[in-house]
């Protein structure tokens, strides 16, 4: 009986819809509430970690950017890189923040091809 209840509970939890949402440039720059600024920064940190992890997993010749080995990217640095690139390219506010972040990382940390 306990096994059936536990299985039913897990099935119910697993079938719920996920509510993750892409953060767009306008949402990031102008959060509707103060608490969203914190959420946006957490989201950005996740994007940074994901993009860096993906890059490190690639062959050196295939990387889009090359952050120096002992550099620890902070959220503040990532935000500055992202916003500077978005302004430079005059990107629309509807674009997901991962796009200007990746472009900015390519500009800030180009790979040397030998």
Sign of the torsion angle spanned by Cα atoms 30, 76, 88, 59: negative
In this structure, whether the domain defined by 20-108 belongs to CATH 1.10.890 is answered with: yes
Domain segments of the chain: what residues?
Answer: 20-108
Q: Which residues pair with 96 in a beta bridge?
A: 24
Q: Do you know the residue count of the chain?
A: 114
Unique residue bearing structure tokens 């509430």: 33
pTM, to two decimals:
0.80
Q: CA-CA distances (angstroms) from residue 91 to 22, 37, 82?
A: 16, 20, 11
pLDDT for res 6: 46
**pLDDT tens digits for 37-94?**
999 999 999 999 999 999 999 998 999 999 998 999 999 999 999 999 999 999 999 9
CA 42 to chain centroid, in Å, comes to: 9
Q: Quick one: pLDDT at residue 112?
A: 86
pLDDT score at 4:
46
């Amino acid at each position: 009986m306990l096994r059936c209840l536990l299985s039913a509970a897990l099935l119910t939890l697993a079938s719920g819809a996920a509510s993750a949402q892409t953060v767009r440039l306008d949402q990031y720059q102008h959060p509707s509430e103060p608490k969203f600024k914190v959420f946006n920064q957490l989201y950005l940190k996740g994007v940074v970690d994901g993009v860096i992890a993906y890059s490190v997993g690639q062959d050196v010749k295939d990387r889009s950017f090359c952050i120096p080995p002992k550099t620890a990217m902070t959220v503040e640095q990532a935000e500055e890189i992202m916003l500077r690139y978005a302004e430079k390219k005059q990107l629309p506010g509807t674009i997901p923040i991962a796009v200007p972040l990746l472009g900015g990382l390519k500009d800030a940390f180009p790979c040397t091809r030998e």
